[in-house]
Every structure is written in C-alpha cells, then in structure tokens.
Amino acid sequence: MNLPLNVESKSDLLGSPVVELRQYTLKPGRRETLIGIFDNHLIEGQETAGMTIIGQFRDLDRPDMFVWLRGFDGMEARKHALTAFYDGPVWAAWRDAANATMISSDDVLLLKPAWPGASLDLSGSKRVPRSDLEKPSASSDLQAIVVIKIHHLQPGLEARFAKECQTAALPVLAALGARPLAAFVTEHAENSFPRLPVRASENVFISITGFASADAHARHEAALAAFPRWQEFEQAAQWDLARPVEVLRLAPTARSLLGQPTPA
C-alpha cells in the first residue's frame, strides 16, 4: 500500500474519489463493544450498498475514540450508497446497539484526493474473515500503525499547501522512514446525504502515513525534529494554518483494510 504520491498512477483508478474521515466519541469503556459490532456486522452491509470501508481504528491516545474511513465513487454515488445502507436491514438490526456506545458521531470530514495519484491504493489488501476473532492489540508495541495528520488551513490555501507538501515534505518523510499512503483536501461539494452531517466549513489538508510500530513512528518524529529542511518547511507552514495540526496515532482493528501487512 505504498503509494507513489508524486506521480499520477494506476492507484488513482483504484482509490475512492470521495472519502469520509469519521471520529466517534464513545461512552467510557464501550470502544471494544463498538469494534465488535462494526467488524462483525457492519462492514459487508456497507460495501454491498456501494461504499468501500477503508479502515477502522483504535486511537492510541484517546481510549474512547473510534476513527474510521470510508470511500465512495462520487458525491451522487455517496447519496445512493448511504441511502441504501441506512434505510436497509443491516443498519436496522444493529443501529440501536451501535448507537448505544456513542456520545457523538458528528465529527466528519468530507475529503477528496489532494492531487492525482494521492488516493489510497487498497489493491494489495485483504480483509480478515469474520470467522477470525477480534483480538484487542492497541497496547502492542509491535503492531503497525497509521498516522493521520489534519492540517487546518486558512481559507483558499488547500491547493497551494498540497503542492508544497507534495514537492517539499513527502521526499523528506520517505527519506526518514515513513510510508506515505495518501493525501486529501476538503471536498467542498454540498453534502449529498444531509441526514449525516459533515464539518462543511473546514479547510483541511490531511496526510496518511504508515509505520511498522508506534516506536518506529516516535523515532521518525525525532529524526524530523532534528532535520533542518523539515524545520524550515514547518516554520513556513505555520503561516498557512488556522489552528494547530491534529495528529491521530491509530491502531487498525483486525478487519481494517488500511494498516494491515500487504500480502507478498
């Protein structure tokens, strides 16, 4: 799943042109319950309705947060897929149990690839069968993790910031051991399924990067902090930010496509 983010590639045909990043605040101690429901009962129903469940994660720094990504073939396709699922039998059967774990499910960013070739390539990924039991592993130091950085930008700066990241930041990240997976900016099209709200006023650039472990990510961040070219990039980027960057360190659940080892 290592994307060549600086060139237009076949992955553009494989990735979703519209993606939701969803962060759910859960009731204390209920995350494993929701993961069990989601991984065992809600993935196939959504994909049958016409969407791609890209990845679902435990947030390593926030024990009551569940983070996930799903993709669509376009805004009109999103409308039809969400209507089919949320009016269908799978959600009707599991809605009450899932909602009972949640405090809030409205933190949603609607996204599109930041440039041609920046979408997620899941072609080499294989989902674990439902018959395999979920094994909580958020505390494992050896589990691969996904890091999502959300850059909140001043209005109108997404295209320029994305270009600067593509040309200046990505080569440094890769050289220092990161595995760039995707980059997205806000999709400003009108919400095609208003029953589910999105943060429509946001202007974001989002990077998604893979690491072999939380320790590997920590070493990478230390190397960045000591690298002069990266310090220059971050100092220049501060002028474009509307507020501090959010960093999500995420451990994939057993049935997440994103973040699992790629088969040889």
If we measure between CA atoms, which residue out of 135, 147, 145 comes closest to residue 213?
A: 145
* Element housing 218 (H / E): helix 214-225
Q: How many CA atoms lie within 13 A of 198 on its CB side?
A: 21
pLDDT at 160 over 70: yes
Higher per-residue pLDDT: 140 or 261: 261
Q: Above pLDDT 90, what percent of the chain?
A: 79
Alpha-carbon distance of 31 to 36, in angstroms, equals 9
Q: Are 68 and 22 in contact (CB under 8 A)?
A: yes
* Residue 60 pLDDT exceeds 80: yes
Average predicted confidence (pLDDT) for the chain: 90
Q: Could you report the per-residue pLDDT of 6-41, keeping only the tens digit for each?
A: 333 333 335 899 999 999 999 999 999 999 999 999
- How much is the average pLDDT of 149-177? 94
Instruction: Give me the amino acid identity at 129.
Output: P
pLDDT tens for each residue of 71-98: 999 999 999 999 999 999 999 999 999 9
* Torsion angle, alpha carbons of 212, 213, 217, 218, to 10: -150
Confidence of residue 122 (pLDDT cuts 50, 70, 90): confident
DSSP classification of residue 149: E
Beta-bridge mates of residue 186 = 111
Most confident of 40-44, 139-143, 228-232: 40-44
**Angle in degrees, CA 65, 66, 70, rounded to 5:** 145
* Residue 121 confidence class, pLDDT cut points 50, 70, 90: confident
Backbone angles phi, psi at 56, to 5 degrees: -135, 140
Asked if pLDDT for residue 138 goes beyond 50, the answer is no
Which of 21-25, 145-149, 173-177 has the weakest average pLDDT?
173-177
Residue 136 has pLDDT above 80, yes or no: no
- What would the mean pLDDT of 186-192 be, rounded to a whole number? 97
Domain ranges of the chain: 11-123+137-252
Is the whole-model pTM more than 0.95?
A: no
> Tell me, what's the pLDDT at 105?
97
Tell me the average pLDDT across 221-243.
92
Q: Which fold has domain 11-123+137-252?
A: Alpha-Beta Plaits (3.30.70)
Beta strand residue intervals within 153-259, DSSP E? 179-186, 204-211, 246-252
